[in-house]
């Protein structure tokens, strides 16, 4: 290259003193990029652009590497730093910290990714080195335009909202309340308890679910710091971390809770019986006025208005007549309560896959095919059969039972994932059937997934008890008999893959271990809270491995099955973890928010409102009086959508201003532009 250096279009020379640090990252970068050449080029070519020192080092993120930067800031009076290394996701905080320690505003440090963007995606060394130079040059031009920023400090309201009163929500609420802080526990059913309250026994210990859950429920109900809002739903969420304003709709119970003693006479006397398809999973009945189960917390019943004879036809009112303390009040209306909280934990749980979709298993058409939740109700001592395992006629004890794993799971036709708990659940069912009926039990599985503590030992136990295992995914459950021994039975047709042949096994009863799915309204709820969920509806954690209880929205945490199927130990752990994160935030009193965010220049804003509905984080508000838009700094995540959308160019991002981006582009092109005449000369 012999021609004179090209002058960048409009860029004047700068007074800033820039230090460039090129990392080898062992051989991760140095194996493809000629680091020394990049260092030298920066030092020579970019000297005119303000670079006063250019170094390379094997591992910039190490203490020694950081010290290089700190020393140069102090000794050479650097005003800007460029670190050419890995992706900012990994070490931006590290190098910003180094700058801060040396007295330089951390937002005057720019990361240039020459690993993820260069050495990891190219094999041509010469081209990679040129690209690294270009990336560094771009970073240099950009950092010149950077301004010193200060993080925002936002106070944290000490109250917390926990949505979902299952075991995850209860655990989180108890832990936060134990630390002395207020919790609003919102639950849409009349009682807290969640799915765990439906079970009979829990694996692998065979603890009675109610016995271990109800003490927690009672504690949650009695704790002065926990405000239970059952038969309620969140309808509106405004605000940002530390300062959420949440509106909760408290549906009318038509019961005056101050007077109600929970005696249950209303439920006894109510003449309207209907199928309970929530708590009893469709296998039992309840009344129009009901508490879902005897140990309900709170103990107050609710009236199911669409099914109440009084509300639908104007007659009856029997409950009112018989209620000893006169606690029935048909005139109640839904109430709305607005609360202020600093953090939110979403623990709304799961819904069961509907096996009616798998027509070949006959659920719904064949009487003696049951879902896992239906079976739980059968085995539950407080269930519709008082714990007897009987067939659909309510009396016959089965002599053979088939339990099918993976119904609706691990299946691209329904749900592609494994539901984590079905193998253990199926083993538990096998054990219970054996114990209570002595029936012959078959389990049909693809793989046996018994991964956690004491799980495989439980499998051993069930094997010892004599349950027969067939490795094969059931093809059909049918009542069309072929042989005499199949008459009147349900025939499970399956390939016994280990024996290598198709088998038809007649059984009396079939239990389907159905998949766990996100709640039917999960996506709507996610939208309400402004968090993201995957295509199937599981909520997205901030990082699947390293941050499983946080979300990308500051101040909103998740716990339990809302992010994906998991067993009770993991659910409880997540509830506790979310509580710990919230407590940590509360203790800090205030938090720092990244200053990389958009701001509206209100002198340029014409009030067109194009940006208003674009913000994925609900961070934009419109001032009707002044007809201008404002970005709420605490909510803004700096995604840049509004910046791009604004037709007047009135929105700019601190940390990603238009000037910075334009300069960066010109820096990136510098090397190419210089090389071009040489290439043209060759072609001529």
Partner 1 sequence: MNAANDPSRPRSFLEEVVAATLGKSRLEMCIQCGTCGGSCPSGMDMDHTPRGIFALIRADMREEVLASNTPWYCVSCYYCTVRCPQEVHITDVMYTLKNIAIQAGLYEDNTAADLATTFVGQVEQYGRSFEFGLATRHNLKHHPLNMPKMAAGLGLGMLSRGRMDLTPTRIQGVDQLKRILARARELEAA
Partner 2 sequence: MMAKYLFYPGCSMERTARPYLDSVLAIREALGIELEDVHDWNCCGATEYPAISVMGAHALVGRNLALAAQQSNGSRTLVAGCSACYLNLAKTDHYMRQSPDLAAKVNNALGAGGLAYQAGSLTVRHFLDIFINEVGLEKIRSAVVKPLKGLRVACYYGCQVPRPDYDQRFKNHEYPTQLEAIMKACGATVIDFPMKSHCCGGHMTQISERTAYGMIRRLVAGAEQYEADIMVSLCPMCQLNLDAYQVEMNKFFKTHFHVPTVFFTQLMGIAFGKDPLALGFGREFVSAKDALGKIGLDVPESEGQVPAPKKAGRASKQEGLPMPIMPAPKTFEGEV
CA dihedral 427, 374, 348, 194 (to 10 degrees): -90
Selection from 596, 594, 598, 616 nearest residue 652 by Cα: 598
Instruction: Establish if 411 lies at the interface with partner 1 (CB under 8 A).
Output: yes
Q: Which stretch binds partner 1 (CB under 8 A): 426-434, 495-503, 527-535, 557-565?
A: 495-503
Q: Which stretch binds partner 2 (CB under 8 A): 40-48, 171-179, 387-395, 625-633?
A: 387-395
Q: Which does 446 bind (CB under 5 to 8 A by kind): partner 2, partner 1, none?
A: partner 1
Residues in 412-431 that interact with partner 1 by CB under 8 A: 412-413
Q: Which does 494 bind (CB under 5 to 8 A by kind): partner 1, partner 2, none?
A: partner 1
The answer to whether the CB of 162 falls within 8 A of the CB of 172 is yes
Instruction: Establish if 359 lies at the interface with partner 2 (CB under 8 A).
Output: yes
Residue 204, burial from CB neighbour count under 10 angstroms (0-12, 13-18, 19+): buried
Q: Among 10, 393, 464, 625, which residue interacts with partner 2 (rule: CB under 8 A)? A: 393
Q: How many CA atoms lie within 13 A of 632 on its CB side?
A: 19
Q: Which does 412 bind (CB under 5 to 8 A by kind): partner 2, partner 1, none?
A: partner 1
Cis peptide before 204 (omega within 30 of 0): yes
Residues in 387-406 that interact with partner 1 by CB under 8 A: 406
Q: Among 207, 233, 456, 476, which residue interacts with partner 1 (rule: CB under 8 A)? A: 476
Instruction: Establish if 385 lies at the interface with partner 2 (CB under 8 A).
Output: yes
Instruction: Establish if 408 lies at the interface with partner 2 (CB under 8 A).
Output: no
What's the CA gap between 288 and 510, in Å, rounded?
A: 31
Q: In whole angstroms, how large is the CA radius of gyration of the chain? A: 32
Q: Which is nearer to partner 1, 11 or 496 (CB)?
A: 496
Nearest distance in Å: CB 199, partner 2: 18
Q: Which does 269 bind (CB under 5 to 8 A by kind): partner 2, partner 1, none?
A: none
CA dihedral 335, 338, 341, 347 (to 10 degrees): 30
Q: Among 245, 263, 481, 661, which residue interacts with partner 2 (rule: CB under 8 A)? A: 481
Q: Which stretch binds partner 1 (CB under 8 A): 71-79, 143-151, 189-197, 499-507?
A: 499-507
What's the CA gap between 515 and 80, in Å, rounded?
A: 55
Instruction: Establish if 500 lies at the interface with partner 1 (CB under 8 A).
Output: yes
Q: Which does 411 bind (CB under 5 to 8 A by kind): partner 1, partner 2, none?
A: partner 1
Selection from 469, 392, 465 nearest residue 433 by Cα: 465
Q: Which stretch binds partner 2 (CB under 8 A): 226-234, 254-262, 351-359, 545-553?
A: 351-359
Token reading at 292? 């879902």
Q: Among 138, 169, 292, 384, which residue interacts with partner 2 (rule: CB under 8 A)? A: 384
Determine what percent of the chain falls in helix, strand and coil, rounding each to the nearest 5: 35, 25, 45
Q: Which does 545 bind (CB under 5 to 8 A by kind): partner 2, partner 1, none?
A: none
The answer to whether the CB of 499 falls within 8 A of the CB of 409 is no
Q: Among 43, 493, 540, 599, which residue interacts with partner 1 (rule: CB under 8 A)? A: 493
Q: Which is nearer to partner 2, 310 or 353 (CB)?
A: 353
Which secondary structure element, helix H or strand E, spans residue 458, and what is its range?
helix 455-464
Q: Which is nearer to partner 2, 367 or 665 (CB)?
A: 367
Q: Which does 275 bind (CB under 5 to 8 A by kind): partner 2, partner 1, none?
A: partner 2
Q: Among 126, 360, 485, 606, which residue interacts with partner 1 (rule: CB under 8 A)? A: 360
**268 to 297: interface string for partner 2, x by CB under 8 A:** -------x------xxxx------------
Q: Among 138, 194, 349, 472, which residue interacts with partner 1 (rule: CB under 8 A)? A: 472
DSSP track, 464-509 = HTT-EEEES---EEE---SSGGGTTSEEEEEEETTTTEEEEEEESE
Which residue has tokens 């039975």?
A: 489
Q: Which does 410 bind (CB under 5 to 8 A by kind): partner 1, partner 2, none?
A: partner 1
Instruction: Establish if 485 lies at the interface with partner 1 (CB under 8 A).
Output: no
Nearest distance in Å: CB 384, partner 2: 6
CB pairs under 8 A, 24+ apart, for 475-479? 475/360, 476/360, 476/361, 476/362, 477/360, 477/361, 477/362, 477/366, 477/369, 477/402, 477/404, 477/510, 478/362, 478/366, 479/362, 479/366
Instruction: Establish if 575 lies at the interface with partner 1 (CB under 8 A).
Output: no
Instruction: Establish if 97 lies at the interface with partner 2 (CB under 8 A).
Output: no
DSSP track, 392-405 = TTSSPPPSEEEEEE
Report how far Cα 89 is from the mean position of its chain's Cα atoms: 20
Instruction: Establish if 137 lies at the interface with partner 2 (CB under 8 A).
Output: no
- H helix intervals, 29-87: 35-45, 63-76
What's the CA gap between 64 and 87, in Å, rounded?
A: 20
Q: How many residues at the interface with partner 2, by CB under 8 A?
A: 27
Q: Among 364, 438, 569, 584, which residue interacts with partner 2 (rule: CB under 8 A)? A: 364
Q: Which is nearer to partner 2, 46 or 283 (CB)?
A: 283
Nearest distance in Å: CB 360, partner 1: 7
The answer to whether the CB of 151 falls within 8 A of the CB of 199 is no
Token reading at 531? 């968090």
Which residues of this protein are in contact with partner 2, per CB under 8 A? 275, 282-285, 354, 356-357, 359-360, 362-365, 367, 384-385, 391-395, 478-482
Which residues of this protein are in contact with partner 1, per CB under 8 A? 360, 406, 410-413, 446, 471-476, 493-497, 500-502
């Amino acid at each position: 290259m012999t021609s004179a250096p090209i002058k960048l279009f409009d860029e004047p020379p700068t007074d800033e003193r820039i230090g460039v640090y090129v990392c080898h990252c062992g051989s991760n970068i140095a194996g493809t990029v000629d680091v020394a050449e990049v260092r030298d080029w920066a030092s020579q070519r970019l000297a005119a652009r303000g670079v006063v020192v250019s170094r390379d080092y094997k591992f910039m993120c190490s203490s020694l590497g950081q010290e290089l930067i700190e020393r140069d800031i102090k000794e050479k009076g650097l005003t800007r730093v460029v670190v050419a290394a890995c992706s900012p996701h990994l070490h931006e905080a590290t190098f910003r910290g180094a700058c801060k320690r040396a007295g330089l505003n951390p937002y005057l440090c720019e990361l240039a990714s020459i690993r993820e963007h260069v050495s990891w995606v190219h094999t041509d060394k010469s081209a990679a080195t040129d690209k690294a130079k270009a990336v560094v040059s771009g970073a240099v031009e950009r950092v010149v335009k950077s301004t010193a920023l200060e993080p925002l400090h936002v106070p944290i309201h000490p109250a917390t909202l926990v949505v979902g009163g299952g075991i995850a929500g209860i655990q989180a609420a108890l832990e936060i309340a134990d630390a002395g802080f207020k919790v609003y526990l919102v639950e849409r059913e009349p009682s807290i308890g969640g799915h765990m309250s439906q079970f009979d026994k829990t694996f692998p210990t065979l603890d009675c679910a109610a016995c271990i859950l109800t003490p927690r429920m009672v504690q949650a109900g009695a704790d002065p710091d926990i405000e239970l809002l059952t038969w309620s739903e969140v309808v509106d969420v405004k605000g940002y971390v530390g300062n959420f304003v949440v509106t909760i709709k408290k549906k009318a119970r038509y019961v005056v809770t101050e007077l109600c003693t929970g005696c249950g006479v209303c439920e006894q006397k109510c003449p309207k019986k209907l199928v309970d398809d929530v708590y009893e999973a469709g296998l039992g009945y309840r009344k129009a006025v009901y508490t879902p189960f005897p140990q309900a917390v709170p103990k107050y019943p609710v009236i199911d208005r669409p099914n109440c004879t009084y509300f639908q036809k104007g007659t009856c009112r029997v409950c009112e007549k018989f209620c000893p303390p006169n606690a029935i009040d048909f005139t109640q209306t839904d109430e709305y309560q607005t609360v202020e909280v600093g953090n939110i934990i979403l623990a709304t749980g799961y819904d069961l896959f509907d096996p009616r979709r798998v027509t070949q298993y006959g659920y719904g058409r064949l009487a003696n095919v049951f879902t896992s939740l239906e079976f739980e109700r059968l085995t539950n001592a407080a269930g519709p059969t008082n714990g007897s395992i009987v067939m659909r006629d309510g009396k016959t004890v089965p002599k053979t039972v088939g339990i099918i794993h993976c119904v609706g799971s691990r299946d691209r036709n329904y749900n592609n994932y494994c539901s984590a708990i079905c193998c253990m659940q199926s083993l538990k069912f096998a054990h219970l059937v054996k114990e209570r009926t002595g029936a012959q039990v078959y389990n049909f599985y693809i793989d046996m997934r018994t991964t956690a503590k004491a799980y495989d030992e439980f499998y051993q136990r069930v094997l010892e008890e004599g349950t027969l295992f067939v490795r094969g995914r059931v093809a059909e459950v049918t009542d069309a008999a072929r042989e005499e021994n199949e008459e009147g039975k349900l025939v499970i047709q399956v390939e016994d893959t280990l024996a290598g042949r198709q088998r038809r096994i007649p059984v009396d009863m079939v239990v389907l271990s159905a998949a766990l799915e996100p709640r039917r309204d999960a996506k709507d709820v996610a939208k309400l809270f402004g968090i993201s969920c995957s295509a199937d509806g599981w909520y997205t954690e901030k990082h699947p491995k390293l941050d499983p209880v946080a979300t990308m929205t500051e101040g909103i945490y998740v716990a339990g099955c809302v992010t994906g199927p998991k067993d009770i130990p993991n659910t409880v752990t997540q509830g506790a973890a979310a509580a710990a994160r919230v407590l940590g935030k509360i203790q800090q009193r205030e938090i720092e928010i990244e200053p990389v965010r958009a701001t509206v220049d209100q002198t340029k804003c014409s009030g067109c409102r194009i940006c208003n509905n674009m913000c994925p984080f609900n961070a934009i508000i419109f001032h009707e009086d002044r007809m201008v838009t404002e970005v709420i700094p605490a909510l803004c995540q700096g995604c840049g959508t509004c910046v791009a959308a604004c037709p007047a160019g009135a929105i700019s991002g601190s940390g990603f201003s238009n000037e910075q981006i334009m300069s960066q582009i010109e820096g990136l092109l510098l090397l190419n532009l210089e090389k071009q005449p040489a290439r043209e000369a060759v072609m001529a």
